[in-house]
Amino acid sequence: MTSARPVHFTVNGAAATVTVEPRTTLADALRNELRLTGTHLGCEHGVCGACTVIVDGAAVRGCLVLAAQAEGREITTVEGLGSAAHLSALQLAFRKHHALQCGFCTAGILTTAHALLTEEPHADEDRIREVISGNLCRCTGYLPIIAAIMEARIAYRDVQCEAAQ
């Protein structure tokens, strides 16, 4: 049976149900069914990282996960990180460091960095570079992206402190 069927998960804190063919990727389901178009498709074969979303705390390539595999999971997309009016510390650091130009790869890099810094707010430059090497950017040359993520670490440390208290 290849016809559409419902899949339930949580996106950016809200419950969602999508009714999709089994072949549908999570990225396509988010974009086309939920109209969360901030998640971009740059290659659809798991190399460019533009479609990175966070599933149960782990950054994953949205084109390499079936929507059906996300049943019951908690998903965070770029739209869940902050709004245009209320950018997060990470997003603000990107703006400050000119860490984006065309903006197409940006969502995937933000979600990747968010997942990383949430787990590893003390990640060093080499670790950040290693992690971001799973995301392609053709505009910036990566330097400002690394600088922005380095700067944003402090905000995640604060979050960790609050959580600890």
Does residue 146 touch other proteins according to CB under 8 A?
A: yes
Does residue 121 touch other proteins according to CB under 8 A?
A: no
Closest CA to 75 of 58, 88, 91: 58
Q: Which of 118, 129, 150, 151 binds other proteins (CB under 8 A)?
A: 129
Q: Quote the DSSP letter at residue 30.
A: I
Say if CB 8 and CB 16 are below 8 A apart.
yes
The token pair that represents 66 in the structure block: 């079936």
Q: 56-75 mask for other proteins (x: CB under 8 A)?
A: --xxxx-xxxx-xx-x----
Number of residues that bind other proteins (CB under 8 A): 81
Does residue 2 touch other proteins according to CB under 8 A?
A: yes
Does residue 137 touch other proteins according to CB under 8 A?
A: yes
Which amino acid would we find at residue 162?
Answer: E
Does residue 21 touch other proteins according to CB under 8 A?
A: yes
Does residue 147 touch other proteins according to CB under 8 A?
A: no
Q: Which of 134, 151, 155, 160 binds other proteins (CB under 8 A)?
A: 134
Does residue 89 touch other proteins according to CB under 8 A?
A: no
Q: Which of 18, 52, 153, 156 binds other proteins (CB under 8 A)?
A: 52
Q: Which of 11, 29, 76, 106 binds other proteins (CB under 8 A)?
A: 106
Say if CB 17 and CB 3 are below 8 A apart.
no
Cα 76 to Cα 114: distance, rounded to the nearest angstrom: 10
Does residue 27 touch other proteins according to CB under 8 A?
A: no
Q: Quote the DSSP letter at residue 17.
A: E
What are the CA-CA distances from residue 116 to residues 24, 124, 164 (Å)? 27, 11, 18
